[in-house]
């Protein structure tokens, strides 16, 4: 072509316009570069971006090529690939080295999801593209970016049904929720008969009046809902979710207790019992509530100050003082673990009977307590037994650097008598001082990554169960004493007769 090409831009809309129109003259030797900038297309709320390398440049050799399909068609095919039914999941094996089966290169490797082989690249004249054309295999997975592509059309596949293949290639394990320390407390309280009977009747707490601005009202309502759902004989499923109750705990505790971070059941138990009592009494804590009637006991604390070295200990401040206080649970102190063990004893776990720990409350054993300026010796005398006795075994010790767990095994019976730990005059007030184990909360693992489970006794079935989140298994009573007990709830024997069969 020797003659020059002339492109004349003429407006057909206005023939009367005599003004000469601009023209563009392109000579044979001239080169024109046209740059087209497109915006990412959006379809159904999904933003899909394409770079110039995917559309025009081969990944391996850099050879320029023209786009095969339009952008609109590419978006549609990304969600409606017709070759997804050719994927053979049964033959996929991602345990081999991620290298091309032909070039043995580990760069830009794709896995054919039809035959399971690895190939390099996806552009024109690459091993993956050639394999796609010759064998009619179209679905490939980038082993590095975890993106799916259809070859030789070279568009990305977006489909939720392919997530299982990603998980097989790169499995990830996360613990989104750490609410087992709450679950064991809630499950145990729901099996305490007076608490259960009270919250099953919604009229008992539907008209609570709290001070203006109080945020505690949802706690009682959500706990009542949880109890009614748990004991509902017409549930559609064999399990229920405590999510609403956990949300109320987070709000009412002002994020002190959260279900996304592991916590300690003992502080949570103390907060929950006091918060439920506070709300049920309308913020008038001197009133009685079902929580105090069920768990509260009384004791007398005899305290005397220890004189420092060089002082005689004579004076008003060194006299023994006695105060009466109430309690919702009793704390049991474990003996310190031995720092050094003899040869052959390195696998022996220390054990202690629960009677030894309960001697703290026999009004004879003195326990040392230190403050910033003085040391005190205290004796505890139980003057009123609760209907349900909660024992909290102090198993964790926290300092400025780490949390240490005491692995001592506590040997305890299913039933024991509290008469030997209280005064005779106090024991005569009760027809029965024997307690039967109702719930045993134990901890397994390290202080930071361990889990909590509870052993529950169902009186109607006469059977023990091991409950850990959604896992419930039957348990022999002999296996309960082998666990690392942390919190125990005992029911007084005279109450067990009344609640049997419920």
Confidence at residue 58, expressed as pLDDT on a 0 to 100 scale: 43
Rounded Cα–Cα distance for residues 501 and 16 (Å): 104
C-alpha of 253 from chain center: 18
Confidence at residue 57, expressed as pLDDT on a 0 to 100 scale: 39
Confidence at residue 61, expressed as pLDDT on a 0 to 100 scale: 46
Q: DSSP string spanning 238-305? A: S----HHHHHHHHHHTTTSS-TTS---HHHHHHHHHHHHHHHHTTT-TTS--HHHHHH-EEEEEEEEE
Confidence at residue 342, expressed as pLDDT on a 0 to 100 scale: 57
Confidence at residue 223, expressed as pLDDT on a 0 to 100 scale: 95
Confidence at residue 339, expressed as pLDDT on a 0 to 100 scale: 65
Token pair for 496: 């067990």
Rounded Cα–Cα distance for residues 354 and 334 (Å): 10
Confidence at residue 9, expressed as pLDDT on a 0 to 100 scale: 37
pLDDT along the chain (502 residues), means of 10: 40 42 45 45 43 41 51 72 90 89 93 94 91 93 92 88 89 68 93 94 88 88 93 85 90 90 91 94 84 94 88 82 93 81 63 92 89 89 94 88 87 90 86 92 87 90 88 88 91 71 42
Confidence at residue 43, expressed as pLDDT on a 0 to 100 scale: 41
Token pair for 438: 């109702």
Confidence at residue 118, expressed as pLDDT on a 0 to 100 scale: 95
Q: DSSP string spanning 391-428? A: EEEE-EEE-SS-EEE--PEEE--SEEE-GGGB-HHHHT
Q: How far is CA 386 from CA 322, 330, 342, 355, 495, in A?
A: 21, 11, 43, 18, 11
Confidence at residue 193, expressed as pLDDT on a 0 to 100 scale: 94
Confidence at residue 501, expressed as pLDDT on a 0 to 100 scale: 43
Give the Cβ contact number of residue 163 at 10 Å: 10
Confidence at residue 79, expressed as pLDDT on a 0 to 100 scale: 81
Confidence at residue 477, expressed as pLDDT on a 0 to 100 scale: 85
Q: Tokens 């390290």 belong to which residue?
A: 446
Contact 56, 65 (CB under 8 A): yes
Rounded Cα–Cα distance for residues 354 and 410 (Å): 6
Q: Where are the beta strands (DSSP E) in 52-189?
A: 109-112, 118-120, 139-142, 148-150, 155-157
Confidence at residue 341, expressed as pLDDT on a 0 to 100 scale: 58
Q: Which of 117, 122, 113 is nearest to 99 (CA)?
A: 117
């Amino acid at each position: 072509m020797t003659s020059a090409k002339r492109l004349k831009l003429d407006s057909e809309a206005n023939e009367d316009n005599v003004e000469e129109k601009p023209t563009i003259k392109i000579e044979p030797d001239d080169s024109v570069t046209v740059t087209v900038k497109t915006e990412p297309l959006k379809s159904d709320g999904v933003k899909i971006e394409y770079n110039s390398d995917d559309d025009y440049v081969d990944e391996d050799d850099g050879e320029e090529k023209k786009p095969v399909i339009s952008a609109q068609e590419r978006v549609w095919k990304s969600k409606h690939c017709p070759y997804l039914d050719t994927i053979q999941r049964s033959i996929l094996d991602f345990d081999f080295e991620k290298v091309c089966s032909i070039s043995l290169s580990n760069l830009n490797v794709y896995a054919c999801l039809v035959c399971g082989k690895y190939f390099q690249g996806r552009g024109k004249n690459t091993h993956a593209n050639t394999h796609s054309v010759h064998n009619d295999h179209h679905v490939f997975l980038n082993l590095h970016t975890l993106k799916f592509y259809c070859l030789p059309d070279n568009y990305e596949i977006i489909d939720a049904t392919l997530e299982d293949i990603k998980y097989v290639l790169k499995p990830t394990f996360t613990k989104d929720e750490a609410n087992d320390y709450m679950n064991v407390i809630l499950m145990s309280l729901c099996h305490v008969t007076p608490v259960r009977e009270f919250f099953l009747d919604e009229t008992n707490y539907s008209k609570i009046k709290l001070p203006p601005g109080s945020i505690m009202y949802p706690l009682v309502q959500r706990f009542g809902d949880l109890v009614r759902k748990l004991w509902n004989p017409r549930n559609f499923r064999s399990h229920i979710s405590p999510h609403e109750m956990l949300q109320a705990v987070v709000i009412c505790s002002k994020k002190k207790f959260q279900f996304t971070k592991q916590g300690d059941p003992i502080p949570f138990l103390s907060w929950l019992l006091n918060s439920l009592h506070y709300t049920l009494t309308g913020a008038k804590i001197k009133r009685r509530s079902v929580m105090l009637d069920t768990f509260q006991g009384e004791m007398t604390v005899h305290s005397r100050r220890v004189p420092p070295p060089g002082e005689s200990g004579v004076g008003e401040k060194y006299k023994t003082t006695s105060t009466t206080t109430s309690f919702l649970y009793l704390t049991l102190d474990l003996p310190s673990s031995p720092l050094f063990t003899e040869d052959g004893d390195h696998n022996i776990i220390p054990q202690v009977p629960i009677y030894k720990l309960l001697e703290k409350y026999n009004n004879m054993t003195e326990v040392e307590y230190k403050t910033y300026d003085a040391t005190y010796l205290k004796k505890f005398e139980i003057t009123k037994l609760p209907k349900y006795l909660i024992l909290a075994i102090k198993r964790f010790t926290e300092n400025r650097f780490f949390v240490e767990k005491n692995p001592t095994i506590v040997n305890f019976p299913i039933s024991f008598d509290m008469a030997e730990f209280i005064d005779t005059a106090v024991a005569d007030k009760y027809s029965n001082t024997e307690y039967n184990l109702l719930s045993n909360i134990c901890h397994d693992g390290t202080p930071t990554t361990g889990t909590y489970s509870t052993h529950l006794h169902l009186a109607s079935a006469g059977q023990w169960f091991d409950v850990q989140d959604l896992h419930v298994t039957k348990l022999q009573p002999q296996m309960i004493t082998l666990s690392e007990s942390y919190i125990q709830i005992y029911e007084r024997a005279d109450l067990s007769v009344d609640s049997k069969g419920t």
